[in-house]
Structures are given as C-alpha cells and as structure tokens.
Amino acid sequence: MISFKLNRKIEIYSEDELKMGDSTVQDEDEKSIYISCPIGNNGHMKLVPGEIIRAMYCGEDNKVYGFMTEAATIISDDNIPLIKVNKPSEYEIIPRREFVRIPIMLDIQIFVIDEKISIAHKTPDELKEIYKYKKWIKGYTYDFSAGGLGAVVEESVDYGKEILCLVGDECFHKGFIGKVVRTSRNKAGKKLYKMGVQFVGLDYQCREKLVKYTFQKMREQLKVRSS
C-alpha cells in the first residue's frame, strides 16, 4: 500500500496521458487522499467529479508510484479547493535511483573509446560514418534512465572502460559517451555479456530530455498494464 505524506508532490495526467499539472497531498483518510488543484502552464486546472486521471507520486521510500484513479468530489477547506481522490487498488512501483530507471529493450551499438572523440552536434548516422573503422559491438538494453543504462552485448567490455553508445528508438535516437560500471556474463546466453553503463558529460538540456523521455515511456508502460 502506498504511504501518502502531506505536502508531497503528485503529478496529475488526463486519461489520455496529457499532463494536467503538479499537485500536492494535503490530507488523507482510509479510502481517499485530498490534493490541491493541479497547477499547469496555464494556471489551475479543473477536475470534475468522476473524471479518470493518472497520477505519479514519489514517496518517502524513494520509489515512484504510478496509478489510475478517479476524482471523487471537489471540497473546500478554509475556502481552498481540494480534490478528493480515491486511493488506488492497483499501482506500479518503480524504484528511484539517482534517476528513474525503466525496463525497456532498445537496440544499441557501442565501441570502446581509445582516443579523443567528439560527438557534439552529430547524429548517430554521422557518428557511424566517422568511426566506421572502429570495432562496433551490437546489443540491446534491458533498462534505461537519464543517468545510464543496463545492456546485454555480444562481447565483453572491461570494467571502467569508456564507450560510445548509440541508442536506437523512434522517439529518441542519439549517441552517448558512457563508462562501464558493472559487467558480468549473461546467464541466459553463454556468448552474451551484461553491463551497466553510466552516462558521462551530459549537459543539462540533454539530461532533461532524457528525464522526459524516461517518464513518457514509463507512463506508456503503465497504461498498457492497466488496460
């Protein structure tokens, strides 16, 4: 069961995945929580009784909870409107590390960096052409975050090595420099290897894009599982 705490942030989305705004938990009882009116880019957003919403809540246990629920009633506490929301019977729990990490399979290609390289303002196709003489290793991710990824690859890469990693996705296709922070043989395949990669050198703008991408994919997964 989710432990809701006062003044903790909760993000509110419409049933069709459009973000309505950010809210905070103001009170709770056995079956409901009471939240402030969500504030979006255009000010306070209205919810009507019976409206189905999606919510993302980060608890004090350092986990992100995603769930669907219903706005039950609109009440007023000292002339401040509060929305009574039913506590969810089902929810998704995603552990939060430094950044939210989601399970996802994406094609990747990597090579070990043994010389100074530059990836700024270059597309993955351009990087492939520039470094076509390198030994590229193919693989796929099993999880992804704005801080790094976990992957299964065809050849072992030593711990501590820096790599260039091309990630393929229809919504996000980009090259990253990363450092191998974990490596082991994949139990599911004798000729496959697992590794953890930490992204290095990302600027703020790129990191924010990755955060948004991760939450977008997380909501898509939640929607599929709850349908």
- For residues 141-161, average pLDDT: 91
The yes-or-no verdict on residue 220 having pLDDT over 90 is no
Asked if 114 and 28 touch (Cβ cutoff 8 Å), the reply is: no
Answer yes or no: do 77 and 167 share one domain: no
Burial class (CB in 10 A: 0-12, 13-18, 19+), 33: buried
Indicate if the alpha-carbon torsion angle 147, 152, 154, 156 is positive or negative.
positive
Answer yes or no: do 111 and 90 share one domain: no
What is residue 74's predicted lDDT score, i.e. its pLDDT? Answer: 79
Answer yes or no: do 133 and 54 share one domain: no
The yes-or-no verdict on residue 29 having pLDDT over 70 is yes
Q: What CATH number is associated with residue 37? A: 2.30.110.10
Q: Which domain holds residue 31?
A: 9-95
Answer yes or no: do 88 and 127 share one domain: no
- The tally of domains found in the chain comes to 2
Answer yes or no: do 46 and 120 share one domain: no
| Mean pLDDT (the chain, rounded) | 84
Answer yes or no: do 89 and 189 share one domain: no
Q: What does the buried/exposed string (b/e) look like for 71-91 if buried means 16 or more CB atoms within 10 Å of the residue's CB? A: bbeeeeeeeeebbbbebbeeb
- For residues 38-62, average pLDDT: 82
The last residue of one of the domains, among 95, 115, 142, is 95
Which one has a higher pLDDT value, 189 or 39?
39
The last residue of one of the domains, among 64, 95, 126, is 95
- For residues 160-167, average pLDDT: 93
The yes-or-no verdict on residue 87 having pLDDT over 80 is yes
**Where residue 222 falls among pLDDT bands split at 50, 70, 90?**
confident
Answer yes or no: do 91 and 111 share one domain: no
Asked if 167 and 176 touch (Cβ cutoff 8 Å), the reply is: yes
Answer yes or no: do 117 and 88 share one domain: no
Region at 73 (left for phi over 0; alpha for psi -120 to 50; beta for the rest):
beta
Q: What is the per-residue pLDDT across 169-199, written as a single tens digit (0 to 9) for each?
A: 765 667 889 999 888 877 665 688 989 998 9
Residue 213: phi and psi, rounded to 5, are -60, -45
**Where residue 165 falls among pLDDT bands split at 50, 70, 90?**
very high
Answer yes or no: do 160 and 125 share one domain: yes
What is residue 95's predicted lDDT score, i.e. its pLDDT? Answer: 47
Find all residues with CB under 8 Å of 148, minimum gap 6, and list them: 178, 181, 196, 197, 198, 199
**Residues facing 81 on adjacent strands:** 76
Both structure tokens of 94: 């995603």
The yes-or-no verdict on residue 133 having pLDDT over 90 is yes
Q: Judge whether 1 lies within some domain.
A: no
Answer yes or no: do 152 and 47 share one domain: no
Q: Judge whether 4 lies within some domain.
A: no
What is residue 183's predicted lDDT score, i.e. its pLDDT? Answer: 86
The yes-or-no verdict on residue 77 having pLDDT over 70 is no
Q: What is the pTM of this model?
A: 0.56
The yes-or-no verdict on residue 98 having pLDDT over 60 is no
The yes-or-no verdict on residue 7 having pLDDT over 50 is yes
Answer yes or no: do 86 and 170 share one domain: no
Q: What CATH number is associated with residue 113? A: 2.40.10.220
The last residue of one of the domains, among 47, 62, 95, is 95
Answer yes or no: do 88 and 124 share one domain: no
Which residue type, as a one-letter code, is found at position 172? Answer: F
Q: How far is CA 111 from CA 57, 117, 121, 128, 180, in A?
A: 38, 12, 19, 10, 12
Asked if 9 and 23 touch (Cβ cutoff 8 Å), the reply is: yes
